[in-house]
Amino acid sequence: MPVGGQAVIEGVMMMNGDRLAVAVRRQSDDRIVVEDLPSRRRFKRLSEIPFIRGIFNLYDMLSTGIRALNLSAELALEEEEEDFGTKEAVFVTSIALLVAVGGFVMLPVWLTNQLGGAVEGNPLLFNLVEGGVRIGLFLLYLLSISQLRDIRRVFQYHGAEHKSVYAYENDRKLVAEEAQGFSTLHPRCGTAFLMIVLVVAILVFSLVGDPSLPIKILSRVLLLPVVAGISYEILRFSGAHAEAPWLKPLIWPGLLLQKITTKEPSKKQLEVALAALRRVVEEEEE
């Protein structure tokens, strides 16, 4: 299983199979603190079945990400961590999904439907316009939050995570001097997955035809697992064959989107990401 991770509050979470670790730079004394994060994968068998695994892996990624954020806040800000169990993870993940579905699935359908005769009776045109609106809303959202100082720091740690993973994949020493020269853009990034989802959604939703607005909205929601399953397989394939010349044009939009969600990290931020990575791969290096 490939190594990966995500940016958290003042740090990075790294994952290598069932090994997870969160590293942050503690604000009180500027020291790097690393702590293991217990793995709680609940769908191990289902997460190995092609086209089905994407749905369950997405849930595991969301719940793990929330727990990592919770732990990073405790470590970086030295706040007491509240017990974040299954019920809390399900609740927060459900809220996040509801907001995403409302803002990036239902709203684009409704907005496109307001065009009336311009797209009415033409399923292909309707879905192309709807997909364009969805991508536009998503880009506007990312550009807006990227202006926030705290989010920009998260995006810097996101870049540090990618540089660290590249160093590991290229058998370099896991030190800042070796990792600094690598790109902040990585083909297996979750941002690339979101771009794939946006494109695949246009194709999948086109199969519905041109029903009434309530049916359109319902069909989008019901087809989301299909979109997620297909998109996950595309991401895995593109990540495994990123150097194939014919695949580069298809990977390019996801890499371009990462120019918003990743920023060049400082050496201190890169050191944090590498500390998390060393923790999850240390047994392999021994």
Question: pLDDT tens-digit profile of 241-251?
Answer: 877 888 888 78
**AA letter at 21:** A
d(CA 54, CA 86): 20
Predicted confidence (pLDDT) per residue in 65-98, tens digit: 888 998 999 998 876 555 555 566 567 667 777 8
Q: What's the whole-number average pLDDT of the chain?
A: 88
Q: What is the mean pLDDT of residues 215-239?
A: 90
Question: What six digits make up the tokens of 225?
Answer: 């697992």
Residue spans per domain, the chain? 4-285
In Å, how far are 3, 15, 44, 90 from 19, measured between CA atoms?
Answer: 10, 6, 14, 22
Q: Which residues contact 189 (CB under 8 A, 6 or more apart)?
A: 162, 254, 258, 261, 262
> Which residue shows structure tokens 């319902």?
218
Single-letter amino acid code for the residue at 5: G
Distance between CA atoms of residues 96 and 65, nearest Å: 12
pLDDT given for residue 192 in this prediction: 84
pLDDT at residue 80 in the model: 57
pLDDT of res. 241: 81
Model pLDDT for residues 124-134, shown as the tens digit of each residue: 899 999 999 99
Q: Is the pLDDT of residue 174 over 70?
A: yes
> Closest Cα partner for 21 from 280, 283, 285?
280
User: Identity (one letter) of the amino acid at 147?
Assistant: Q
pLDDT of residue 246: 83
Q: Which neighbouring-strand residues pair with 23?
A: 12, 34
Query: Taking residues 187-200, what's their average pLDDT?
Result: 88
Token readout for 63 is 């719940």
Q: Characterize the bridge pairing of strands 11-16 and 32-36.
A: unpaired
Edge-first strand order for the sheet with 4-8 is 4-8, 11-16, 19-25, 32-36
Smallest CA-to-CA distance from 169 within 186, 146, 152 is with 186
Res. 190 pLDDT band, cuts 50 70 90: confident
